[in-house]
Amino acid sequence: MAGLHEKLHTRPVTFAVLSAVVILIGTIVTMFYPMLTPQMHPKLENLKPYTPLQLAGRDIYQREGCNNCHTQTVRPLKTEVMRYGEYSKAGEFAYDRPFLWGSKRTGPDLARIGGKYPDAWHSMHFEDPRAFFAESNMPSYGFLNKRKLDAGDVVSHMKALGFPYTSDEINALDGKTEMDAIVAYMQVIGIAAAKKPAIAEAARAEDKNPLSGKPEAVAEGKDLYAANCAVCHGSDGEGGIGPDLTDNVWLYKEGDMGDGALHNIIANGTQPGREIEGGKAKGGMPPFGAQMDKNKIWALIAYIRSIHGK
Ligand code: HEC
Ligand code: HEC
């Protein structure tokens, strides 16, 4: 008797049908089945669906084409991690519909923008990017201040995406502008991804400033201050987006703060609720430890001490 294989290749139709079935089974086993398993849909533990205000902001981000200039994904390369922070994880994007990873970086990556700056920084920067960076080619978005959100639109979008919301959250949209929404969206991007522990303690609390009072250090600190700090703390330390640096109140607590603690604040930035020498941070001070060495920070502190009481 002739073997099955001999008969099969003389019957093209049967052969085609059987091979299609075999390929289909292979496809189901290797592609469709894994797609339905939970491991293929990772979600970070503390990741939450967008709130109505955040989702409205995300829509504005898409409408304005922000992702033509900004990416939202940090690649696992040393240089990127040093610049932007923890690299992106699959589990961060479970509620992103669609993904806004982008592919062009005219401006910096925004995957770790949440919590990097205070709200006021963002609204001022959106209004006038060149007030912060003279050569920025980012357009001004001041008009967002004048456009009110439409709660009805937001509700339908929440429903379409199946995100949970409360009527309080919808009522809270009343009177909110598109600027409020885009700022709220900026502040939520990337915050569910585990933040890298702060950079190693830059200085011990009891450390004294080795450059204290040295005129060259004060002069160097003054230049560093003008380039990095004045946008938030005012050109003479009088305060603005960030607190006054000439008074004797540090992290909202009256009384002097040691050099070591100041070094720590400047190197590591602040995070909401973090306690430093009895003061309680609200967050919003960015870390400078990655771009300034120890002595630059000591020079800044020498300068800050020199403007005390002025
Ligand atoms: C034409 C390109 C371009 C467009 C469009 C653009 N940006 Fe930018 N963006 C930049 C550049 C360049 C910078 C860096 C200089 C600066 O901060 O102004 C920047 C900086 C930023 C920063 C600060 C990032 C950081 O880590 O300091 C944020 C936040 C931001 N953009 C958000 C947005 C949002 C939201 C939109 C859309 C509403 C947008 N950008 C549209 C080019 C652009
Ligand atoms: C993006 C805005 C921003 C920039 C830029 C910035 N800061 Fe701050 N800074 C803040 C905010 C906001 C706080 C309050 C932090 C908190 O409550 O957690 C703060 C707090 C501080 C404090 C504690 C002061 C106090 O009175 O409580 C010091 C010191 C400080 N910043 C120094 C600096 C120095 C030095 C630089 C430049 C290298 C700098 N900051 C740049 C926003 C900024």
Q: pLDDT digits over 106-129, tens only?
A: 999 999 999 888 898 999 999 999
Residue with CA closest to ligand 1 atom 14: 107
Q: Is the pLDDT of residue 94 over 50?
A: yes
Q: Which of the ligands is closest to the CA of residue 297?
A: 2
Percent of the chain topping pLDDT 90:
69
> Which of 285, 288, 291, 304, when mutated, tests ligand 2's pocket best, judged by the most ligand atoms within 8 Å of its CB?
285
Q: Determine the Cα–Cα distance for residues 164 and 190; give it in Å rounded to an integer.
A: 20
CA dihedral 27, 29, 35, 41 (to 10 degrees): -150
More confident residue, 30 or 202: 30
290's CB contacts (< 8 A; 6+ apart) are 82, 199
The number of the ligand 1 atom at minimal distance from the alpha carbon of 186 is: 29
The number of the ligand 2 atom at minimal distance from the alpha carbon of 239 is: 26
Q: Determine the Cα–Cα distance for residues 295 and 221; give it in Å rounded to an integer.
A: 10
Q: Report, as an integer, the average pLDDT of 126-138.
A: 93
Identity of the amino acid at 58: R
Across 128-142, 151-165, 271-285, least confident range: 271-285
Ligand 2 binding site (Cβ under 6 Å of any ligand atom): 117-118, 121, 228-229, 231-233, 241-243, 245, 249-251, 262, 265-266, 270, 281-286, 288, 300
Å from CA of 126 to ligand 1 middle: 8
CB-CB contact of 110 with 103 (8 Å): no
Q: How many CB atoms lie within 10 A of CB 192?
A: 20
Q: Determine the Cα–Cα distance for residues 98 and 123; give it in Å rounded to an integer.
A: 25
Q: Which of the ligands is closest to the CA of residue 105?
A: 1
Average pLDDT, the chain: 91
Q: Determine the Cα–Cα distance for residues 204 and 215; give it in Å rounded to an integer.
A: 24
Per-residue confidence (pLDDT) for residue 197, from 0 to 100 = 46
Q: Is the pLDDT of residue 195 over 70?
A: no
Q: Is the pLDDT of residue 154 over 70?
A: yes
Å from CA of 108 to ligand 1 middle: 7
Q: Which of the ligands is closest to the CA of residue 240?
A: 2
Nearest in space to 91 (alpha carbons), one of 160, 43, 21: 43
The per-residue pLDDT for range 204-220, each reduced to its tens digit, is: 777 889 999 999 999 99
Across 22-26, 168-172, 287-291, 293-297, least confident range: 287-291
Residue 256 tokens, joined: 């002097």
